């Protein structure tokens, strides 16, 4: 089958880069009077934001273009995600920040925490104190209290209130979105895969700020198209392509160079275990418990981020993903100066090689293109090691 299959997302969304389409949608929403809340992390409780009829807007940046400006203020030896995000704000060129009426932040890694202090004057900001020992008995109480404090912040900033019913509805919507996303990811798990990343990445970019109900129709169309591809014999990637599971730091923009290198080396990325990939959809929030805020807190504390200790869920989640996606190799992408993901890579390496007998590669990189040649050599060597 050589014909190009239909794109996964509706025609009305195609033709432009996903970030531009997302921006156009947000601007239209803003013109209709919708309030917007900037977020930087998968721990931001987006269901609460949506229950207030506000739109969450991701402010994480993945572009090399603003790093130089950021380094005039921030240390060069800092994670590129933080530098890039800060650089956009410093240059006043982030359209997503411009749309945000307020910002929600969390105490995750040190770099982000200190960057939040530098931008705190620019927008009303609320910092949530994230417990970093998620299995401690008090962690759930602390995080529940933090979500309540965010509720109070949103109430006073946007001068509106939220009901339990609205919260329960927002939870049901989020669960619907996650179920649909997981249905789509299942097509990448097929052998051979019917879809893969970066195609899925485009869809996820758009999904970030789309409500559960709108996403439902978008994803229903995608499922129809995937079914048609299956029937017509379209597969993603070349015949016999090595299947790669990517894990680690969030990726996007200029860091997508790694997808390109893997595909050029004859591989296909079938799973993206990161916060810009499948992680936010990996679990569901318990519905109709009578205490929706606590139910949210319980789900958020299960996110396996390396800022948590111990982060054992990352390893058990890796087992589940390997079973479902059957990769031939695992790539752990670590952004430069991200110490927690860098150190945790030792445990991921052990798990992948000892328990699953799969080749493993840690890639330490930033948003520049200067290491492409070296990446290519290392990825080719990895794929040659595949059984």
Report d(CA 105, CA 41) in Å as an integer: 7
What is the C-alpha separation between 150 and 304, in angstroms, rounded? 22
Q: Which residues does residue 248 pair with via DSSP β-bridges, in sequence order?
A: 333
Max CA distance (Å), the chain: 59
User: Residue 226 or 258: which CB sits closer to ligand SF4?
Assistant: 258
Nearer to ligand SF4, 78 or 383 (CB): 78
Classified as helix, coil or strand, 367 is: coil
Length of the chain: 387
Cα 201 from chain centroid (whole Å): 9
For residues 181 and 338, which CB has a smaller minimum distance to ligand SF4 in the complex? 338
Closest distance of CB 251 from ligand SF4, Å? 10
Minimum distance from CB of 42 to ligand SF4 (Å)? Answer: 4
CB closer to ligand SF4, 114 vs 122: 114
Nearest to 278 by CA among 30, 42, 20: 42
How would you classify the pairing of strands 102-106 and 36-39? Answer: parallel
Q: Backbone phi, then psi, for 227, in 5-degree steps?
A: -60, -40
Beta carbon of residue 231, minimum distance to ligand SF4 (angstroms, whole number)? 37
Q: 5 or 280: whose CB is closer to ligand SF4?
A: 280
What element of type H or E holds 255? none
Residue 319 C-beta: closest distance to ligand SF4, Å:
19
CB-wise, 113 or 179, nearer to ligand SF4? 113
The C-alpha atoms of residue 127 and residue 105 are separated, in whole angstroms, by: 5
Smallest gap, in angstroms, from Cβ of residue 201 to ligand SF4? 15
Q: DSSP for 61-109?
A: ---GGGHHHHTTTS-SSS-HHHHHHHHHHHTT--HHHHH-SEEEEE--S
Min CB(111)–ligand SF4 separation in Å: 5
The residue ranges that bind ligand SF4 (CB under 6 A) are: 41-43, 79, 81-82, 108-109, 111-112, 249-250, 275, 303, 305, 307, 335, 338, 340-341
Q: For ligand SF4, which is the closer residue by CB, 43 or 236?
A: 43
For residue 252, the minimal CB distance to ligand SF4 (Å) is: 11
């Amino acid at each position: 089958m050589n014909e190009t299959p239909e794109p996964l997302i509706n025609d009305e969304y195609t033709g432009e880069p996903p970030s531009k389409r997302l921006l156009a949608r947000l601007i239209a929403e803003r013109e209709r009077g919708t309030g917007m809340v900037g977020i930087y992390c998968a721990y931001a409780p987006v269901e609460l934001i949506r229950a207030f009829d506000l739109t969450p807007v991701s402010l994480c940046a993945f572009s090399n273009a603003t790093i130089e400006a950021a380094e005039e203020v921030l240390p060069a030896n800092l994670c590129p995600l933080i530098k890039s995000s800060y650089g956009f704000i410093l240059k006043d060129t982030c359209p997503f920040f411009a749309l945000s009426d307020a910002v929600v932040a969390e105490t995750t890694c040190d770099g982000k925490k200190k960057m939040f202090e530098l931008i705190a004057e620019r927008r009303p900001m609320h910092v949530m104190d994230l417990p970093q020992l998620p299995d401690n008995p008090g962690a759930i109480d602390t995080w529940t209290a933090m979500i309540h404090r965010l509720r109070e912040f949103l109430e006073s900033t946007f001068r509106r209130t939220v009901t339990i019913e609205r919260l329960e509805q927002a939870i049901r919507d989020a669960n619907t979105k996650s179920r649909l996303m997981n249905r789509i990811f299942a097509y990448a798990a097929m052998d051979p895969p019917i879809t893969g990343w970066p195609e899925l990445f485009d869809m996820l970019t758009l999904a970030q700020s789309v409500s559960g109900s709108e996403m439902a129709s978008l994803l229903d169309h995608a499922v129809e198209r995937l079914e048609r591809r299956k029937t017509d014999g379209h597969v993603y990637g070349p015949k016999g392509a090595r299947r790669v599971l990517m894990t680690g730091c969030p990726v996007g923009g200029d860091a997508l160079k790694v997808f390109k290198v893997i595909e050029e080396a004859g591989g296909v990325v079938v799973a993206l275990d990161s916060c810009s990939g499948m992680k936010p959809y990996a679990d569901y929030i318990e519905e109709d418990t009578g205490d929706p805020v606590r139910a949210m807190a319980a789900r958020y504390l299960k996110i396996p981020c390396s800022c948590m200790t111990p982060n054992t869920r990352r390893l058990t989640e890796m087992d589940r993903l390997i079973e479902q996606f059957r990769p031939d190799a695992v790539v752990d992408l670590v952004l430069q100066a991200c110490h927690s993901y860098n150190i945790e890579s030792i445990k991921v390496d052990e798990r992948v090689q000892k328990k699953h007998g799969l080749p493993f590669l840690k890639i330490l990189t930033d948003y520049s293109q200067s290491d492409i040649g070296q990446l290519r050599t290392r990825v080719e060597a990895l794929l040659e090691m595949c059984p």
